[in-house]
Each structure stands twice: as C-alpha cells, then as structure tokens.
Amino acid sequence: MKQFHASHTIQKMRKRRAESLEAPAHALNSDLDTCPVYGSEAMLSAAPCLDIPQHPLTPRIAQQLVLDELNLDGNTRLNMASFVTTWMEPEADRLILEAMRKNFIDLDEYGQTAEIHKRCVNIIARLLHAPDPQNSAPIYTGSSTVGSSEAILLAVLAMKLRWRAVAAKHALKNPNLVFGANAHIVWTKACFYFDIEARIAPVSPDCLVLTPDRMLPLVDDCTIGVALMFASTINGQYEDVLAVHEALSRLNAQRQHNAFKFEVPIHVDAASGGFVAPFVTPDLIWDFRLPLVKSINISGHKFGLVYAGVGWVLFREAADLPEEMVFHINYLGGDQAHFGLNFSKSASNVIAQYYNLVRYGFEGYRAVLNAQMANARFLRRELETHGSCKGRLRMVDKLDIPLVAFALEGGSRFSVYDVQDHLRQSGWIVPAYRCPRGAEQLEIMRVVVKQDFSHDMIQLFVQSLVHTIEFLDHHFVSRTSIPARPHGRRYKKMASKSSGATNVIHRHSGKATTGIC
Ligand SMILES: *Cc1c(COP(=O)(O)O)cnc(C)c1O
C-alpha cells in the first residue's frame, strides 16, 4: 500500500515536471543576465523535489527560488520555543562568514583556529571553576561539539569507560545511568546508543525535577553516574546539584567499605544554565567546585549567545577523560588531543564563541543575562496580572533561568494546545506539551526569553495572548461536545481542518513533548 502511494506520487511529480518543461514560448531563457527573475522559465516550473535538474540556473534565480520557499518557515524572532540563539551582532555575522570556509579539524592548516579553540576551552573551564590543570601549559580538558547532545554522548561514553575499568575486575556487566524523567531526550538516546540501562526517576506535578530521595534508591554497583539537569528543559528549574552531591558523597563513602571501590560521579547537563549561573547567581554551587562533578556540558548556542551549532564538553581533569577516547594529532610541533563524534565541521561557531567571549567579557554577559532575567520577571508579572490573563495561568517555572512556563488554571474549556494553535495565527511560536512520567496530567507552555525578546516585544506578545484567551473564551467549541456528523460530509471536512482536530491528535499522540529543545 505504502509502495503504491510512493510510486503514485513519483508519477505525479514526473508529470508535473514534464508539463512544466513545456513552458510558454514567451518565457525567457534563464541563462541570460538580463532575464527578469519572475519572467524566467525556472519560475514557471515546479522546484526540483526528486531528481537533480538537468540544467543549471543562474545564481540569482536559484537564490530567489530557495528564498521564496524559506518564507514558509516560522519567523525565528517570534520563536519562543527554542533556547537557541536567533540574533547576533553584525560583526559576528562577518566573522562567521569568514570562518565558514575553514574546516575546523584541519588543525595543521588552521593552527590559529586550534589555538582559539583551546582558549575557549580554558576560559569556559575556568568560568566553571575547574581545578588548575597539572600540566604546565595550562590546558584544561574539554572540546567544542556540535551542541550539548554531542557533548553528552561523549561524557556518557567517558563515564561508561571509567566504570568499566573498575567493573571488569568484579565481573560486573550491565551498566546503568540515573537521571530524572525530566531529562532531555538525548539522555535516553545516549543510553540506547551505548547499551546502558536508563534508570529514570519519575517526577511529580508539584516537583518536576530529580531530588536526592528520588535518586538514591536507583544507584547500585552498576551505576556509571548520575546526570543532573541544570536547568530542566521542561520548566527551566535547576536541579539541586549541591543536595544530590551531598547524598551521593555519603552513599559513596558507605560503599567504600565494599570491595567494589567505584565512586559514582555526577555529570551536570548545563546546556542552558551553564552560561547563566556564572553571571546571574555566581554564588550558587553546582559546578566543578563540587568534587564528584567530573564532567559538564554547555550549549554555546543557547545562553552562550552563538547561532546553532556549538556546544562544549568539559572534564574536571585530564584523568576523567579515558585515554581510549583521545586521538592524538601532532601539529606544529605540539601534541593536540582530539576527541569527538564528528570529524569535519565549519570553524564558524567556535570563532563566533570566541568573539562573544572577547566582545562581551564577564560584565557584558552579565548585563545581557540580567536583562533577560528582568524581561522574564516582567513577562511573568504580566501573565499573572494583565487583562484576561489574570487568574487564568499558573506559573510552573522557578525563574532560575530566563524562561517562563505556565499551565492553565482549572476551569478553562480549552487546553494549552488550543492556545498554542491560536497564538500561531499571529506568528508567535510557543510550545505546549505534556509533562514527563509522574506528572503526565500536567500540560504546560514555555516561553524562552532570549536576548532579542525585549520589553517591547514582550508587551506585544502579552497583547496577543490576552486576545487569544478572550477569543477562546467566546468562540472555543470543544470537538468532543459536537455531535457526530451534524451536517454529513461537509462537517467532516470542516472538522478535520479545525485546530481542535490537530489538538486531539497532539494530545493523544503519546509523545511527552513536541517542538522544544
Ligand atoms: C538543549 C538541551 C540539550 C540538548 O542540547 P543541544 O545543544 O540542542 O544538542 C540537552 N540537555 C538540556 C538540559 C537542554 O536544555
């Protein structure tokens, strides 16, 4: 059946393409420089979807064709769903374009890029209070990655190898990793990829994070580590690294009496909080100041304020990165230790990260992040008090990072998915999702207050939300309250197009979260 559909579509596409090749006689040949873009043959034809086109197009027409299609994407600046940076300074844009041509991995050819990379690792490691390295250089242990996902995969592999080195002597075979149900999807992915049992602690509607009490019963001799979210993707809350650290230290001390002397480490997933806490709450203890914290990841492309494509993995000290994972490249007379899941990548984002560190400095980052925190507080206050929002929304974030998350108070006839759909009509992209295991009955929405979501933009957003709530209060009709087929076929057609229909599918899809990262 599937196959029939596929070949049917291919036939239709071929037919369309054949028809479009018979362009009207008055269309101009597109390889003339003078050809008006929209008077060209290409613009009278379907865009290639299946086969590579036989003939080239002029760059101008090809560019316009692609640009036109991209218009259908959501507006990046109205995307409240993602943590990922959507605005950088024009000076950074220029550096990014310049560095795009360089393959980051060609350390020999681009020695200065490698040097800049090393500086970024050092600066970030010191921001996170990594102990001074024993080598004389000094060089801290870490690497850029494509994002926190790659960083986490590397850190999990390191935890598994460190555990295995000890476990092999005790014939222990089945490693497990402990984290909360609120952890980012990459944690489950890492366990699956590296054949590790995921020990996932459920959360609850009144506490959406991992706690010492939830963690302790899951730890045993086969636990390679405990992963803590700093902050949780679900509601932006910091897990209490200090409290978990104390509980785990006590447990490790008890286990020292056993023959099996493996100290269970902590990895802190600071994808979002890693570039917030050092500037906004520098006294909060969560990083390498705690001895069991052996590795940390950060997304440079979240609050590190760089465009998508850069993360960082840092190890407490060189000994925490198993030697088997490191591949040595000799260049310029030195010894460059390389580890990573990828090989070739553009140097752009590492250069852009260095630009931000140089350009903003500590005080600059602090100013930007404090502004984001102030904007998040402002948004939260508006949602609690403004017009039709008043009394309708219950905040579920803790304002640890610039993120506001809320549920609808009981008594609304419509759901967060209806709010999501209606807001989309005015361009705002705000995700609605069901909370993870243990809190499935809680459905929430999340707004990430990025640096370019200014006070003024927040006011415009709140106006849209007020309008949405007023509209839904007056006009919302629940699908379940509509009698089946009141107008026969016509109704069916209408219903399948209504937002209600997509909401029902969304709600029952069984997926915990959608469209958030
Ligand atoms: C965003 C996020 C990730 C994934 O990071 P990428 O940089 O998108 O790969 C992992 N963990 C947490 C807590 C996150 O917020």
pLDDT tens digits for range 475-517? 988 766 555 554 544 444 444 444 444 444 455 444 544 456 6
To the nearest whole percent, how much of the chain has pLDDT over 90? 74
Please give the DSSP secondary-structure letter assigned to residue 39.
Answer: G
Choose the residue to mutate in 79, 82, 144, 149 for probing ligand 1, maximizing ligand atoms within 8 Å of C-beta. 149
Q: Per-residue pLDDT for 32 more than 80?
A: no
**Can you give the pTM of this predicted structure?**
0.88
Q: Per-residue pLDDT for 183 more than 90?
A: yes
pLDDT tens digits for range 223-261? 999 999 999 999 999 999 999 999 999 999 988 767 778
Question: What pLDDT sits at residue 490?
Answer: 45
CB–CB of 351/187 below 8 Å? no
Decide the pairing of beta strands 393-395 and 403-408.
antiparallel
Q: Per-residue pLDDT for 18 more than 80?
A: no
Ligand 1 shell residues, CB under 6 Å: 83, 147-149, 184, 186, 229, 233, 269, 271-272, 299, 311, 517
Q: Which residue's alpha carbon is at the smallest distance from atom 5 of ligand 1?
A: 148
More confident residue, 407 or 505: 407
- Select, from the ranges 15-19, 78-82, 170-174, 202-206, the one with the highest average predicted confidence (pLDDT): 202-206
**C-alpha neighbours within 13 Å on the C-beta side of residue 90:** 0
Count of beta carbons in the 10 Å neighbourhood of residue 509: 10
Residue 270 Cα, ligand 1 centroid: separation in angstroms?
A: 8
More confident residue, 18 or 356: 356
In the numeric block, which tokens belong to residue 498? 């209504």
Decide the pairing of beta strands 141-145 and 293-299.
unpaired
Question: What pLDDT sits at residue 106?
Answer: 83
- Nearest ligand 1 atom to alpha carbon 151: 9
In the numeric block, which tokens belong to residue 52? 């590579």
SS3 content of the chain, % helix, strand, coil (to 5): 45, 15, 40
Bridge partner list, 79: 429
Give the pLDDT band (50/70/90) at residue 115.
very high
Q: Which residue's alpha carbon is at the smallest distance from atom 11 of ligand 1?
A: 184
Question: What does the mean pLDDT of the chain come to?
Answer: 88
Question: What pLDDT sits at residue 491?
Answer: 42
Choose the residue to mutate in 148, 235, 298, 301 for probing ligand 1, maximizing ligand atoms within 8 Å of C-beta. 148
Q: Per-residue pLDDT for 315 more than 60?
A: yes
Q: Cite the DSSP H helix spans in 447-488.
A: 455-475
- Nearest ligand 1 atom to alpha carbon 152: 10
Residue 300 Cα, ligand 1 centroid: separation in angstroms?
A: 10
Of 403, 501, 439, the residue nearest 81 (C-alpha): 403
Choose the residue to mutate in 156, 234, 239, 269 for probing ligand 1, maximizing ligand atoms within 8 Å of C-beta. 269
- Select, from the ranges 22-26, 375-379, 472-476, the one with the highest average predicted confidence (pLDDT): 375-379
Count of beta carbons in the 10 Å neighbourhood of residue 340: 19
Residue 31 Cα, ligand 1 centroid: separation in angstroms?
A: 45
Q: Per-residue pLDDT for 392 more than 50?
A: yes
